Chains A and B, each alone.
Chain A
Amino acid sequence: MGFLDLEAVDKYYGKLHAIKGIDLSIQQGEFIVFVGPSGCGKSTLLRMIAGLERINGGTLTLDGNDITHAAPAKRDLAMVFQTYALYPHMTVAENMSFSLRLAKVDKAIIDEKVKTAADKLDLTQYLDRTPKALSGGQRQRVAIGRAIVRQPKVFLFDEPLSNLDAALRGQTRVEIARLHRELGATTIYVTHDQIEAMTLADRVVVLRDGIIEQVGTPLELYDHPANRFVAQFIGMPQMNLIPTSHVPAAPQGSVELGVRTEHMAICAMGDARIKGSVEMVESLGNETLIHVRPEFAGEHDLPLIIRQYERTDLQMGDEAGVRWDDQHVHFFDADGKTLTNTVQGVAA
């Protein structure tokens, strides 16, 4: 039994089975990230935990109490919304203290807590402003402040950074990581940003079409994806896939070989396992992505992507040989399940 337990949790929107019997056990203090393609049910699952969506089947247990059908106000969870959802008619201080005022906490204690939170989030000088007079990043920090003053049992975040620009997103991400270290609070975080998922999570939950594809630490998912979907979903650019008919010595029953872009290399034609032509070269400065279309590939197949840290002289249309590192390959069967996986050990 964990701190927050989901058991066979179901959600229907009319005929649409949006969440299909999810089991998940979350330990106290864990930072859990939900990822998955758009429409897979991340927000729905989070809102079910929050109590904002009715749970149609299964049970939800928090700290030993069944809260499957408890009102959101009774669950002692705090949520940070993508749109911030600040109270427009209240000042920053009033926004942050709203929950404590509802709970009739002593005024001196409220002031103290608001002050501490504002300090942590660098909001002290804005306490008397209304949300209208704040920038997006400041609003987001108020929304986070509103959640932390309450010291809830669990923090819920639904894509909290997606309305911020890239620089601010990076900054706020680090901030959230620091807050989590300091507060040690159990957190569930929805995102479709891989970097957020990889850097923040203790464990990542990969969802697809209302079911869990895999749960694990970020590196477990990266090194040992349970299936082709997870393998392709985690990691940018996507893992290369090669039909095993073009791979010598593929294991019995495997139909596809997966190799991450950094484990493939351009090589002399003599050593090449696959020959092809260069379709595009993306020079990013610190790394170079070389797109190679294998000889056997059809019009609509994706090219292989080779990532290297050296610059290249290759041009579009050049012939190129490709090889890969046998220590880092994944074989998938006809159902997309991982058959064998040669990646060694998981660090950290």
Chain B
Amino acid sequence: MFGSYEWNKKLVIRTVASWALALLVFFPILFMLVTSFKTELQAIAVPSLWVFEPTLENYTEVQDRSDYLHFAWNSIITSVLSTILGLLIAVPAAYSFAFAPTKRSKDIMMWMLSTKMMPAVGALIPIYVICQKLGLLDSVFALTIIFTMINLPIMVWMLYSNFKDIPREILEAARMDGATLWDEFRQVLLPLSMGGIASTGLLCLVLSWNEAFWVLNLTSANAGTLASLVASYSSPEGLFWAKLSAVSVLAIGPIVVFGWFSQKQLVQGLTFGAVK
């Protein structure tokens, strides 16, 4: 067809470019995955080996040396609990910002968001001292609370923009129909914003799982999550690339699989209702 050659060329360029970009982004993870199946000696070879006999010895050694499940459990507990707690706070907050705004609502929301612009290390000392005084250092409880708080601004904003898309007359109609606040939420708002609430929860889960700064600074053996497990392999006896890679694969594995299955929800949530 006339002009289809032009069109084809564009398509090829676009396809090649997107694959190149995807590979570039994915390469470190691929490299890590490959390295995790090498021996330590192969791992430090320069130039890197790409053809070798894979071994599982790193994985068995990691399991022998440290209690993977203990750390994985801490990761699961802290991310799930902080997500639930976060939603319990963020949903009512976003509801009131979206449907019963006052003159200052926008300012409060901007202020909440601005806390995300401060470097976390700026709050390290006070939070560390508070945890220490309360005897909460190295506790799952403190970690859960901190995860909740660092995710709250994002959660409130995501939910707010989601709720904003729901015409307020629909909620008013429910009120006129005799709905209590709970009915209004449970039977009207929740079904209409399920997608937004789900993607907010998913994002919060992923962010909590990946959190490393507070984990490394506030926990050690007891409440440490997978992030601290990974970190523990990069320290005292020098670097062991292969084992470090193996433990990293174990740490990110679950969340990557999880993210893969929920990517549609995540993308939808992250566009902040911009695409409709």
Of B169, B174, B191, which is within 8 A of A83 by CB? B169
Beta-carbon contact of A79 and B173 below 8 Å = yes
Of A77, A85, A150, which is within 8 A of B170 by CB? A85
Beta-carbon contact of B172 and A102 below 8 Å = no
CB distance from B103 to the nearest CB of A (A): 8
Task: Give Cα distance in the complex from A52 to B170, angstroms.
Answer: 12
SS of B interface (majority): helix
The answer to whether A73 and B180 touch (CB under 8 A), given A52-B175, A89-B192, is yes
CB distance from B60 to the nearest CB of A (A): 51
Beta-carbon contact of A102 and B183 below 8 Å = yes
The answer to whether A87 and B170 touch (CB under 8 A), given A73-B179, A98-B177, is yes
Task: Give Cα distance in the complex from A52 to B177, angstroms.
Answer: 12
Of A72, A87, A89, A150, which is within 8 A of B175 by CB? A72
Beta-carbon contact of B176 and A50 below 8 Å = yes
> Counting CB contacts under 8 A, is B23 at the interface?
no
> Counting CB contacts under 8 A, is A183 at the interface?
no
Beta-carbon contact of B188 and A87 below 8 Å = yes
Beta-carbon contact of A52 and B179 below 8 Å = no
> Counting CB contacts under 8 A, is A88 at the interface?
yes
Nearest B residue to A52, CB-CB: B172
CB distance from A99 to the nearest CB of B (A): 4
CB distance from A269 to the nearest CB of B (A): 58
Of B175, B187, B188, B191, which is within 8 A of A73 by CB? B175
Using Cβ atoms and an 8 Å threshold, which residues of chain B touch A86? 170, 173
> Counting CB contacts under 8 A, is B3 at the interface?
no
Contact residues of A between 87 and 130, Cβ < 8 Å to B: 87-89, 98-99, 102-103
Task: Give Cα distance in the complex from A22 to B106, angstroms.
Answer: 33
> Counting CB contacts under 8 A, is A233 at the interface?
no
Contact residues of B between 185 and 203, Cβ < 8 Å to A: 187-188, 191-192
Nearest A residue to B172, CB-CB: A52
Using Cβ atoms and an 8 Å threshold, which residues of chain B touch A18? none
Task: Give Cα distance in the complex from A89 to B194, angstroms.
Answer: 11
Beta-carbon contact of B170 and A102 below 8 Å = no
CB distance from B64 to the nearest CB of A (A): 53
Q: Scoring B residues 152 to 188 as 1 if CB is less than 8 Å from chain A, else 0, what string do you get? A: 0000000000000001011011111111100100011
The answer to whether A73 and B176 touch (CB under 8 A), given A89-B191, A102-B183, is yes
> Counting CB contacts under 8 A, is A290 at the interface?
no
Using Cβ atoms and an 8 Å threshold, which residues of chain A touch B173? 79, 81, 85-87, 146
SS of A interface (majority): loop
Using Cβ atoms and an 8 Å threshold, which residues of chain B touch A102? 177-179, 183, 187
Of B172, B175, B187, B192, which is within 8 A of A88 by CB? B192
Of A79, A83, A103, which is within 8 A of B176 by CB? A79
Beta-carbon contact of A81 and B183 below 8 Å = no
A-B contact number at CB 8 A = 57
The answer to whether A83 and B167 touch (CB under 8 A), given A72-B172, A89-B191, is yes
> Counting CB contacts under 8 A, is A78 at the interface?
yes
Using Cβ atoms and an 8 Å threshold, which residues of chain B touch A150? 177
Using Cβ atoms and an 8 Å threshold, which residues of chain A touch B167? 83, 85
Nearest A residue to B103, CB-CB: A14
Beta-carbon contact of A87 and B172 below 8 Å = no
Beta-carbon contact of B178 and A103 below 8 Å = yes
Using Cβ atoms and an 8 Å threshold, which residues of chain A touch B180? 73
Beta-carbon contact of A88 and B170 below 8 Å = yes
Beta-carbon contact of A146 and B192 below 8 Å = no
Task: Give Cα distance in the complex from A150 to B179, angstroms.
Answer: 13
Beta-carbon contact of B174 and A87 below 8 Å = yes
CB distance from A205 to the nearest CB of B (A): 21
Using Cβ atoms and an 8 Å threshold, which residues of chain A touch B183? 102
Task: Give Cα distance in the complex from A180 to B189, angstroms.
Answer: 32
Using Cβ atoms and an 8 Å threshold, which residues of chain A touch B175? 51-52, 71-73
Using Cβ atoms and an 8 Å threshold, which residues of chain B touch A85? 167, 169-170, 172-173
The answer to whether A81 and B172 touch (CB under 8 A), given A87-B188, A89-B192, A102-B183, is yes
Task: Give Cα distance in the complex from A51 to B175, angstroms.
Answer: 9
Of B169, B177, B192, which is within 8 A of A99 by CB? B177
Contact residues of A between 48 and 93, Cβ < 8 Å to B: 50-52, 71-73, 77-79, 81, 83, 85-89
Task: Give Cα distance in the complex from A112 to B183, angstroms.
Answer: 24
Task: Give Cα distance in the complex from A96 to B214, angstroms.
Answer: 52
CB distance from A209 to the nearest CB of B (A): 24
CB distance from B68 to the nearest CB of A (A): 43
* Apart from A71-B175, A146-B177: 17 A-B pairs, beta carbons within 8 A: A73-B175, A73-B177, A79-B173, A79-B176, A81-B172, A83-B167, A85-B169, A85-B170, A85-B172, A85-B173, A87-B173, A88-B192, A89-B191, A89-B192, A98-B179, A99-B178, A102-B177
6 nearest CB pairs, A to B: A85-B169, A99-B177, A85-B173, A72-B175, A73-B178, A89-B191
Of the A-B pairs whose beta carbons lie under 8 Å apart in the complex, a sample of 10, sorted by A's number, is A72-B176, A73-B179, A73-B180, A78-B176, A79-B176, A85-B170, A89-B191, A89-B192, A102-B179, A102-B183
